[in-house]
C-alpha cells in the first residue's frame, strides 16, 4: 500500500507543511520551525524506507506512479526511482531535514522563510523522481523562485545581486532545455498510442533504437543546449560564476542545500537525460567533457587557494569537487560512473558539513576572514575536531568517503584519458594545500585573544553535524551498500551509451 | 448559409444587451443630475454580466452561423472573443469603481456607456467577415478608446495621451483603409471569403498584394502594439487612467489578434479544419513577415522595458513583448497555432488584468506608480505583494503559473512547424524579461520600506476580485485541460 504512493508522499509531504505554515500566525515562530522540522523529517524517513525496500539488483524504475495529467499533450504525472536517483533522494531527505536546524537562528520573517524552504524541498524531490520530461521541467523551474527569495531576503550583504544572478543564470540554462524538450516531444512516438510523448522512459527506448532525429548537427545542437542547461547547475567552467556569489551570500542552510542538492541536479540531469537520450552525442563529446572536468578540478582548487573568505573558499572547492563528477561521467566506464555518483553523494555530505561548520563560526565571530582567526582549536576543541574531519574528507584522505569517490573517478578515467588524469591529480595536491593552509590559519597557531570565551559548539549544531560525520566515516571504510545500490542502474546506463 | 433578420438578431444578442446597457446609461446621465456612481456601475455590471451570459449560452448552442448577409459570422472563435470583451469590460468597471483617478471625472454614467460601446466594438471585430464591417467595428472600438484614455479631463498627461492616441490611431486607420481598398480593387468584393476565392483563382501581382497586406497589417498591428507601430503605447498606457490601461493592454490587444486571425485565416488561408489542412493561398510570404515582426516586437518590448521606472510604462513595454510571443502563433498556420494564441490570450487576461489591478490599488494608496515606491511593500502588505509576485512570475513565464503554459503551447505549435529560430529568440527574451519583472519583486521583498509607510488598504470587493484573477493564474498553471479544450474548440473558424 505504502509503496504504491511512496514517491508522491515524499514529494508532497513538504507541500502539506508549506500550506500549514501559511495558515499559521506569523508570531508563532516555534510552531513554524517545528512544522518545518516534522514535514522534512517524514520525507527523510520515507526516503530511508525507499532505500531499504528498493530492489537493488534491478536496473529498472521502481515505485512507479503513472497517471495521465494533461491528456491533450500526453503529459503524465510519472514518478519512479532507480539506483541513480535513490542516493540523490536520500541525500535530499537528509540534508533538507538537517538544514531546518541550521535555519533555527533565522531572525526575520520566519513564516516566509520556512514556507519557501518547504516548497524548495518539494521541488528538489520532484526533480529526482520525475520521469516525464514536462513534469521534470516544472519541478526544475519550481526550485528557482523559492531559491531567489531565500538568498535575496535572508542572505548576506550582497544578497540582491547574488539572488538575481542565480535566477537569471539558471533560467537562461533551463529555457534552452525547454526548447530541447519540445524538440524531443515532436520527434517521439508513444508506442501505445502513436502520439507524441514526454515520457522519459519511452524516449530512452527510442534513443536506444536510434529512432531520433537523423541530422547530426541538430542532435549535436540539442545535446549542447541540454548540456548548457545542466552545466550551469553543476556548475561546469565557464558557467560557474554565479556559484561563488550565491553560495557566499546565501544563509547557511541554503548554502548547504545549494551545494548539497542543487549542484547534483546538473550531474543527475546528464545521467538521467543527456546520456540516455542522446547517447551518440555523449560519446562524441566525451573528450570535451573530460577537459572541462579537468579545468574544474584544477582551476577550482587554485581559485579556492586564493580566497581569504572561508565560505568563498568552500564554494570554489565545490567547483573543484564537481569536476571529479564531470570527469567520471566523461570516462564512460563503469568504475568512472560509480566514482562520479559516489562523489556526488559524498560532496553533498562533506560540503554540506563544511557549510554548516562555516555557519557555526560565522554566527559567533560575525566574519569569515580566514586571516582574522587563529588558534580557535584552543577555544573550540570539538568544533576544531569535526572541521578537521570534514577537511580531511574533502581533500580525499583514505578512510573517509571522499577518498573512494575520487580514487574511483581516477581509476575509471585513467584507462581512457591518462594525460587528463595525471594533470587532474595536481588538483588533489592543491586541494590538500588550501584546506591545510586554511586549517592552520583558523585553528592553529597562537590563540587569538579576541575569541577567548567564544561559545563552544552547541547541541543543535552538533545534531546537524554528527549524522553527516558518521556517514562520511561509514562509507569511507565500507562503501559497499552504496555500490550495491547503484551498480545495476549504472551498468544499464553504460549499456545505453554503448560501452 | 443565409440567415433571416430575426435569427440574425438572436445571434447578436450579447451585443444588443450591451447596446441596451449603453442606452440606459446615457439616459441615466441625462435624467440624474448627480453623477450617481453606484447606480451607473450597477447597471454596467449587470449589463456586462448579461452580455457575457448571453455569449456563453450562444456558445453552448451554436453551430455555424452568418448573420446580416454574411457581414458577421458568429462562430466559436468570435464568441470566445465576445466573452473576453464583456468579461474585460466587467473587470474594468469593477476596477473603475475603486479608481482614484476616475473618481472626480465627469460622471460614471458616461463611462458605463463608453465601456459598453467598447465591448460591442470588440465583439463585432472578432465576428466581422467583411472588410467594411471590420473597419466600422474597429473604429467603434478606437473612438471609445480615445474617449477613455483622455477621460480624466483635469489630468494633463491623460489629455496628452488621448491626443497622441488619436493621431497615431487615425494614421493607422488611414493605412488600413488604403490596404483594404487595394484588396477590394483586386477581388471586387469586401467579403473575406470572396477575397480568398479571388486569391485562388487569379494570379495577382505580388507587389500589390504585399502593399495591401502590409497596409492592412499596419492598422491591425496598431491595435496589438506590434513593432514598429508600438510608439504610442508607452505614453498612452502611462497617461491613461489605470483601468483604461488594463482595458487597452488586455481587451484591445485581444481584439486586434481576433481581427488579424480572422482576416488571414479567412482571406489568405485555405483550410479544411477536419483534415487539418491549411495552406497559404496568397502569392506572398506574409508568414515570414509576421515571424520577423514577432522577433522584433518581443525583443524591443523587453529591452526597452528594462530601464523603465514607472510601473505602468514597464507593463506597457511588457505587453509589447507579449504581443511578440503571441505573434509567433500567427507566423505559422495550423489549428494548434490558433488555439495556442487563444489560450495565451485567456491566460494573459488573468495575469495582466491582475497586475494592473494591483498597480491601481497601490496607486490609490500611495499616489505613485513609481517602481521605487514599491520598496518594502511586502512588509506592510504581504498578501498584496504575494499576489503581485504571482502575476509577475506568470508574466515572465515561470512554472507553475499559467503564463508558462501560454508560452509552452505557443512554442509547441511553432516547433511543430520547425520554427526553431523564433522559439529560441522567444526563450532568450523570457530570460531578459525576468530581469525587469524581478526588479519589482526585488523592490517589494528585498528592500525595507521607508519610515511611516501605511499598509495598502484593500477592501473586501477588490480582494475578491484579485483572488478571482489569482486562482486561475495558479490553477491553469498546473492543470489547464479545461482551458486547453476551450481554446481548441474556440479555434474553430468559419
One domain, residues A447 and A416? yes
pLDDT in tens, B238-291: 888 899 999 999 999 999 999 999 999 888 888 776 666 788 888 888 899 999
Q: Does A186 touch chain B (CB under 8 A)?
A: yes
Q: Pick from B380, B385, B391, B399 the residue to mutate for testing the A interface (most A CBs within 10 Å).
A: B399
Grid look-up 518594502 returns B376
Average pLDDT over residues A125-142: 93
Residue contact B445–A149, C-beta within 8 A: yes
DSSP reduced 3-state for B20: helix
Residue A138 forms contact with B (CB below 8 Å): yes
Helix axes B206-224, B311-328, angle to 10 degrees: 140
Same domain? A396 vs A460? yes
Contact B423 A179 (CB under 8 A): yes
Q: In chain A, what residues touch B438 (CB-CB under 8 Å)?
A: 148, 164, 167
Tell me the percentage of chain B whose pLDDT exceeds 70: 96
The helix or strand, by DSSP H or E, that contains position B139, with its residue range, turns out to be: helix B131-149
Does residue B306 form part of some domain?
yes
What band does A283 get if pLDDT is binned at 50, 70 and 90?
Answer: confident
Residue B200: pLDDT over 60: yes
Q: Tell whether B323 is covered by a domain.
A: yes
Half-sphere exposure (Cβ direction) of A123: Cα atoms closer than 13 Å: 24
A249 plus A330 within the same structural domain: no
Domains in chain A: how many in total?
Answer: 2
pLDDT number for residue B33: 64
Instruction: Tell me the average pLDDT of chain B.
Output: 88
Which chain A residues in 148-167 lie under 8 Å from chain B, judged by CB atoms? 148-149, 152-153, 159-160, 163-164, 167
**A223 in a structural domain:** no
User: Is B454 a domain residue?
Assistant: yes
Identify whether residues A376 and A248 lie together within a single domain: no
Number of C-beta neighbours around residue A186 at 10 A = 13
A175–B430 C-beta distance less than 8 A: yes
Examine residue B426 and state whether it is found in any structural domain, yes or no.
Answer: yes
Residue A247 sits in the same domain as residue A334: no
Residues B190-204: what's their mean pLDDT? 87
Q: How far is B384 from chain A (nearest CA, A)?
A: 14
Instruction: Say yes or no to pLDDT of A427 above 60.
Output: yes
Which chain B residue is nearest to residue A188, measuring alpha carbons? B416
Contact A152 B412 (CB under 8 A): no
Give residues 62 to 91 of A whose Cβ lies within 8 Å of B: 69-73
Any bridge partners for residue A425, and if so which? none
The reply to whether residue B400 touches residue A137, judged by beta carbons under 8 angstroms, is no
- Cβ-based contacts of B412 with chain A (< 8 Å): 73, 182, 185-186
Contact assessment for residue A464 and residue A98, using Cβ atoms and an 8 Å cutoff = yes
Q: Which of A303, A174, A324 is nearest to A248 (CA)?
A: A303
Confidence of residue B166 (pLDDT cuts 50, 70, 90): very high
Range of the domain at A434: 285-499
Which residues of chain A does B399 touch, with a Cβ-Cβ cutoff of 8 Å? 137-138, 141-142
Q: How many CB atoms lie within 10 A of CB A302?
A: 17
Q: B130: which strand partners? A: B191
Could you tell me if A492 and A353 lie in one domain?
A: yes
From the list A132, A6, A111, the residue with the least C-alpha distance to A63 is A6
Residues of A with Cβ-Cβ distance to B480 under 8 angstroms: 70
Please answer yes or no on whether B398 and A141 come within 8 Å at the CB atom: yes
pLDDT of A126 above 90: yes
Q: Tell me the percentage of chain B whose pLDDT exceeds 90.
A: 54
A17 and A162 both lie in a single domain: yes
For residue B133, is it within any domain? Answer: no
Cα B199–chain centre separation: 30
Does residue A493 sit within a domain? yes
Total of domains in chain B? 1
Whether the CB of A41 is below 8 Å from some CB of chain B: the reply is no
Largest CA distance in chain B: 73
Strands B277-280 and B269-272: antiparallel
B430 chain-A contacts, CB cut-off 8 A: 171, 175
Distance from CA of A36 to the nearest CA of B (A): 21
H-type alpha helices, A209-251: 216-233, 242-249
- Interface pTM, i.e. ipTM: 0.91
Q: Are residues A396 and A312 in the same domain?
A: yes
Same-domain check for residues A250 and A365: no
β-bridge pairing B65-67 and A75-81: unpaired
Answer yes or no: do A328 and A435 share one domain. Answer: yes
In a domain, B458, yes or no: yes
CA of B416 vs chain A CAs: smallest distance (Å): 6
Closest-CA residue of chain A to B439: A164
Q: Specify if B225 maps to a domain.
A: no
Nearest to B481 among A70, A164, A175 (CB): A70
pLDDT, average across residues B44-73: 85
Average pLDDT of the residues in B430-456? 86
Q: B398 to chain A, minimum CA–CA distance in Å?
A: 7
Q: Do B485 and A72 touch (CB under 8 A)?
A: yes
CA B299 from centroid of its chain's CA atoms: 20
If pLDDT is split at 50, 70 and 90, which confidence band does A321 have? Answer: very high
Give a yes or no: residue B478 inside a domain: yes
DSSP codes, B169-233: HHHHHHHHHHHHHHHHHHHS-SBHHHHHHHHHH----HHHHHHHHHHHHHHHHHHHT-TTS-THH
| Chain A closest-CA separation from residue B472 CA (Å) | 16
Q: What distance in Å separates residue A20's CA from the closest CA in chain B?
A: 16
CB B195 within 8 A of CB B227: no
Q: Indicate if the pLDDT at residue A104 is higher than 50.
A: yes
Give the model's pLDDT for residue B1.
Answer: 46
Residues of B with CB under 8 A from a CB of A: 382, 393, 398-400, 404, 408, 411-412, 415-416, 420, 423-424, 427-428, 430-431, 434-435, 438, 442, 445-446, 479-481, 484-485, 488
Quote the domain boundaries for residue B466.
287-494
Q: If you measure CA to CA, which chain A residue comes closest to B376?
A: A153
Answer whether residue A60 is part of any domain.
Answer: yes
Amino acid at each position: 500500500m505504502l509503496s504504491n504512493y511512496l514517491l508522491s508522499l515524499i514529494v508532497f509531504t513538504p507541500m502539506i507543511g508549506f500550506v500549514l505554515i501559511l495558515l499559521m500566525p506569523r508570531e508563532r515562530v516555534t510552531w513554524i520551525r517545528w512544522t518545518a522540522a516534522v514535514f522534512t523529517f517524514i520525507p527523510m524517513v520515507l526516503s530511508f524506507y525507499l532505500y531499504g525496500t528498493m530492489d537493488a539488483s534491478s536496473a529498472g524504475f521502481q515505485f512507479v506512479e503513472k497517471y495521465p495529467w494533461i491528456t491533450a499533450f500526453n503529459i503524465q504525472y510519472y514518478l519512479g526511482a532507480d539506483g541513480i536517483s535513490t542516493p540523490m533522494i536520500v541525500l535530499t531527505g537528509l540534508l533538507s531535514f538537517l538544514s531546518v536546524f541550521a535555519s533555527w537562528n533565522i531572525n526575520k520573517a520566519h513564516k516566509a522563510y520556512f514556507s519557501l524552504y518547504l516548497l524548495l524541498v518539494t521541488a528538489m524531490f520532484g526533480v529526482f523522481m520525475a520521469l516525464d520530461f514536462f513534469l521534470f521541467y516544472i519541478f526544475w523551474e519550481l526550485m528557482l523562485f523559492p531559491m531567489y527569495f531565500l538568498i535575496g531576503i535572508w542572505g548576506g550583504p550582497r544578497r540582491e545581486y547574488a539572488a538575481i544572478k542565480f535566477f537569471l543564470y539558471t533560467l537562461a540554462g533551463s529555457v534552452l532545455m525547454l526548447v530541447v524538450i519540445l524538440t524531443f516531444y515532436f520527434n517521439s512516438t508513444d508506442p501505445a498510442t502513436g502520439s507524441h510523448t514526454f515520457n522519459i522512459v519511452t524516449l530512452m527506448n527510442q534513443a536506444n533504437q536510434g529512432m531520433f532525429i537523423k541530422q547530426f548537427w541538430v542532435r549535436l545542437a540539442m545535446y549542447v543546449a541540454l548540456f548548457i542547461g545542466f552545466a550551469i547547475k553543476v556548475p561546469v567552467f565557464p558557467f560557474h560564476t554565479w556559484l561563488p556569489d550565491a553560495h557566499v551570500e546565501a544563509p547557511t542552510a541554503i548554502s548547504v542545500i545549494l551545494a548539497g542538492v542543487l549542484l547534483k541536479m546538473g550531474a543527475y540531469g546528464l545521467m538521467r537525460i543527456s546520456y540516455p537520450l542522446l547517447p551518440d552525442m555523449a560519446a562524441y563529446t566525451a573528450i570535451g567533457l573530460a577537459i572541462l572536468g579537468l579545468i574544474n578540478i584544477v582551476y577550482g582548487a587554485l581559485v579556492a587557494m586564493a580566497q581569504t573568505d572561508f565560505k568563498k573558499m568552500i564554494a570554489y572547492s565545490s567547483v573543484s569537487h564537481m569536476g571529479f563528477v564531470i570527469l567520471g561521467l566523461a570516462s564512460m566506464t563503469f568504475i568512472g560512473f560509480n566514482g562520479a555518483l559516489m562523489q556526488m553523494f559524498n560532496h553533498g555530505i562533506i560540503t554540506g558539513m563544511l557549510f554548516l561548520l562555516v555557519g557555526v563560526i560565522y554566527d559567533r565571530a560575525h566574519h569569515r576572514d580566514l586571516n582574522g582567526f587563529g588558534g580557535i582549536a584552543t577555544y573550540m576543541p570539538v568544533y576544531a575536531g569535526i572541521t578537521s574531519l570534514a577537511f580531511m574528507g574533502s581533500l580525499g584522505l583514505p578512510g573517509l568517503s571522499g577518498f573512494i569517490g575520487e580514487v574511483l573517478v581516477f581509476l575509471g578515467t585513467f584507462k581512457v584519458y591518462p594525460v587528463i588524469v595525471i594533470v587532474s591529480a595536481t588538483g588533489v595536491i592543491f586541494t590538500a594545500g588550501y584546506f591545510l593552509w586554511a586549517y592552520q590559519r583558523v585553528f592553529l597557531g597562537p590563540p587569538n585573544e579576541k575569541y577567548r570565551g567564544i561559545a563552544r559548539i552547541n547541541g543543535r549544531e552538533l545534531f546537524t553535524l554528527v549524522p553527516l560525520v558518521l556517514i562520511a566515516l561509514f562509507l569511507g571504510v565500507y562503501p559497499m551498500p552504496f555500490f550495491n545500490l547503484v551498480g545495476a542502474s549504472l551498468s544499464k546506463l553504460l549499456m545505453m551509451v554503448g560501452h | 448559409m443565409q440567415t433571416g433578420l430575426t435569427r440574425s438578431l438572436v445571434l447578436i444578442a450579447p451585443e444588443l444587451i450591451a447596446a441596451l446597457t449603453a442606452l440606459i446609461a446615457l439616459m441615466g446621465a441625462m435624467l440624474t443630475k448627480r453623477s450617481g456612481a453606484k447606480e451607473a456601475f450597477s447597471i454596467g455590471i449587470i449589463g456586462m454580466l448579461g452580455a457575457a451570459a448571453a455569449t456563453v449560452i450562444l456558445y453552448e448552442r451554436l453551430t455555424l452561423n452568418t448573420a446580416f448577409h454574411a457581414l458577421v459570422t458568429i462562430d466559436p472563435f468570435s464568441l470566445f472573443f465576445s466573452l473576453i470583451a464583456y468579461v474585460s469590460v466587467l473587470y474594468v468597471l469593477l476596477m473603475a469603481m475603486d479608481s482614484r483617478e476616475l473618481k472626480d471625472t465627469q460622471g460614471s454614467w458616461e463611462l458605463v456607456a463608453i465601456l459598453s460601446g467598447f465591448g460591442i466594438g470588440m465583439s463585432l471585430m472578432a465576428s466581422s467577415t467583411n472588410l467594411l464591417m471590420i473597419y466600422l467595428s474597429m473604429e467603434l472600438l478606437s473612438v471609445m478608446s480615445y474617449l477613455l484614455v483622455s477621460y480624466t479631463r483635469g489630468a494633463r498627461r491623460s489629455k496628452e495621451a488621448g491626443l497622441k492616441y488619436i493621431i497615431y490611431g487615425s494614421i493607422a486607420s488611414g493605412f488600413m483603409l488604403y490596404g483594404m481598398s487595394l484588396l477590394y480593387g483586386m477581388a471586387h468584393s469586401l467579403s473575406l471569403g470572396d477575397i480568398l476565392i479571388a486569391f485562388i483563382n487569379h494570379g495577382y501581382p505580388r507587389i500589390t498584394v504585399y502593399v495591401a497586406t502590409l497596409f492592412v497589417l499596419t492598422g491591425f498591428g496598431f491595435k496589438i502594439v506590434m513593432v514598429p507601430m508600438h510608439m504610442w503605447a508607452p505614453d498612452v498606457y502611462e497617461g491613461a487612467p489605470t483601468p483604461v490601461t488594463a482595458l487597452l493592454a488586455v481587451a484591445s490587444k485581444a481584439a486586434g489578434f481576433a481581427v488579424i486571425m480572422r482576416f488571414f485565416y479567412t482571406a489568405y488561408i485555405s483550410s479544411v479544419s477536419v483534415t487539418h489542412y491549411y495552406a497559404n493561398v496568397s502569392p506572398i510570404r506574409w508568414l515570414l513577415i509576421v515571424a520577423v515582426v514577432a522577433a522584433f516586437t518581443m525583443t524591443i518590448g523587453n529591452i526597452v522595458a528594462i530601464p523603465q521606472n514607472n510601473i505602468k510604462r514597464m507593463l506597457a513595454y511588457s505587453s509589447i513583448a507579449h504581443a511578440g510571443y503571441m505573434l509567433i502563433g500567427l507566423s505559422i498556420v495550423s489549428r494548434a497555432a490558433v488555439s495556442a494564441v487563444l489560450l495565451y490570450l485567456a491566460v494573459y487576461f488573468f495575469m495582466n488584468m491582475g497586475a494592473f489591478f494591483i498597480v491601481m490599488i497601490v496607486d490609490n494608496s500611495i499616489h505613485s506608480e513609481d517602481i521605487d515606491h514599491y520598496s518594502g511593500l511586502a512588509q506592510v502588505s504581504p498578501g498584496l505583494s504575494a499576489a503581485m509576485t504571482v502575476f509577475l512570475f506568470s508574466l515572465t513565464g515561470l512554472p507553475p503559473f499559467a503564463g508558462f503554459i501560454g508560452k509552452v503551447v505557443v512554442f509547441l505549435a511553432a516547433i511543430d512547424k520547425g520554427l526553431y529560430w523564433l522559439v529560441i529568440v522567444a526563450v532568450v527574451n523570457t530570460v531578459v524579461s525576468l530581469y525587469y519583472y524581478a526588479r519589482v519583486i526585488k523592490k517589494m521583498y528585498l528592500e525595507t520600506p521607508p519610515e511611516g509607510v501605511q499598509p495598502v488598504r484593500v477592501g473586501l470587493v477588490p480582494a475578491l476580485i484579485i483572488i478571482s484573477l489569482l486562482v486561475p493564474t495558479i490553477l491553469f498553471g498546473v492543470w489547464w485541460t479545461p482551458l486547453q479544450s476551450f481554446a481548441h474548440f474556440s479555434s474553430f473558424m468559419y
